[in-house]
Chain A
């Protein structure tokens, strides 16, 4: 009896080791947000379809992830097989040869179904280098009850003039209600994302076609003065420290009449578990100044394969799964349509059930489509990117300029001073970079 059992055990062990040796492990670097966490929870669906591929997850804070991934890719460390990167990095890294081109994602992948704006922002020389996991734009979120009290009606596509008027009417500082909450915290992905979209809508641009900085233009002066007046007169105190999360907290506590920020916020502010104003939130397109461009940005968190990966095929298989139509259906089945990652595929917005169950769906789509990364401004520009400039120097330039504008919001300098300092530092940086 015993020898037989021992034999069985040995065979089982040998089989186990054999499968272990055959299985390929891919390491996936992600950020901590609701959609990514949900994906980890549903990964079993992938591993059951692909028993020979094992998944290992590394979840990091956004800035740490960016630094880790850049470092690993530049040093060819091969730590990650799939990484989450943004729209800003994709064309820059693709140009460096750091990313695998994403073709052959399978017959039923349907690359043409990816929203055109997303595809444009994640491609380099018409080749897709990162597949959008979810996409976002920015829009106006407002309190329907406060708007009614003020006797105003929010148009679907408001102007900046209307926003200023509504902000004034809704502000009630004695009761800690502020007409409009806007980003003031310094950073290329914080206040500069917002300020750049305001500038775009006022007809300003970062550079002319000869890469000369344009922050001394009257359009920039008008845009920045407008932003500063809005935030000083109708914004909450200490706005120079407010980023996405701080404004989200203020809005959820009922302290903001309007908030212009990422479309992804819609699912948070309408969630009755977290938000005290969940049942009285309305949405509108980001404002314009009558110049033909709206102040909405375009961003995507996308999945890409670094050139140093030794499991390229397995990594691509995973990406094809995570960004497929089937994955959207899988999330819907398990967690409801409102929790499906938005902004990546056209077919999602043709789905009647989705449009019904996610009240912010149509506005998200309209906002995404209103943004064009290839033609972000009124006047022509040599760069790609709506709320950023897709050059390696941007992270540095954007953050330094962001500090000047944050200091302006804090009342330490005037818009003119902030702009002239920003112009000087951008000019220096660009000259040093050899433009």
Chain B
């Protein structure tokens, strides 16, 4: 039976939750505020919080100087494409590991995760050479494949954990009723794992959207996504913090909005299976 929380206790927990939330959100909030300041106000000391002359000048400069839509379009294709491709590969893999585990399944899972432990820069040069050979440098398809590979271990692991929560007996029942493997995965397993799949999808879109190593290193003019858009506003000689903030805000806005609307899905997916 759940313990009834006293109002005092409730107030304290609420306050604590809000504090942590604000603390985590503060850098993003500060970036957004800075994007509406002039360059001089942006570096003011002591810093100004809300009471300054709000201006949209930085946005118009950024808009004038770079083709935001092109970067945005590249980001959407790369992040979306790599996630969909990843799910297509990972669902059967996770099914096999969850429902017909072999002697080495645990090892394979760990091995997959171990590829995330290698610093990406360690394989940059070989990857670069492969990309040159295959003519994939600065192409969206090349980046989509790389990001799919980079995130695949996480996708498989997440799906595996969700699938493990689904009783095998249900799938067995489907098989008894004469469902083929394809039907079993498509019509029985997938609908039951929808919250899990949805949150995996969302998390991977976010990860791929924010990925800034491969996207910066393997692109030039054509396939560059929003990470390159932000990087182009960083300047070691000259104070352009307000413009950099405007570029950052424009780059994170779509994913922030997506995250905002799907937070229920995300939280549900992330805590799925936490209570047995």
Contacts and interface: CB of A to CB of B under 8 A. Distances in A.
A contacts with B: majority SS:
mixed
A33 B237 contact: yes
B236 A61 contact: yes
Contacts of A71: 124-125, 128, 217
Contacts of A95: none
Nearest to A80: B220
B95 interface: no
Nearest to B129: A75
B236 A77 contact: no
A335 interface: no
- Using C-beta atoms within 8 Å of the partner chain, give the interface range for chain B: 20 to 34
Contacts of B125: 71, 75
A412 interface: no
Interface stretch (A52-60, A125-133, A224-232): A52-60
Interface stretch (A108-116, A246-254, A280-288, A399-407): A246-254
A244 B228 CA distance: 23
Contacts of B103: none
B78 to A, nearest CB: 17
B231 interface: yes
In this complex, the member of A27, A72, A77 whose beta carbon has the largest number of chain B beta carbons within 10 angstroms is: A77
B137 A59 contact: no
Contacts of A34: 238
Interface in A292-346: none
A61 B238 CA distance: 12
Interface string B216-251: 110011101000100111111111100000000000
B234 A253 contact: no
Contact of B236 (A62, A252, A255, A268): A62
A264 B237 contact: yes
B40 interface: yes
B128 A75 contact: yes
A79 interface: yes
A123 B162 CA distance: 62
Contact of B132 (A63, A76, A244, A264): A76
A277 B238 CA distance: 16
Contacts of A76: 132
Interface of B: 38-40, 43-45, 65-66, 124-125, 128-129, 131-132, 137-138, 216-217, 220-222, 224, 228, 231-240
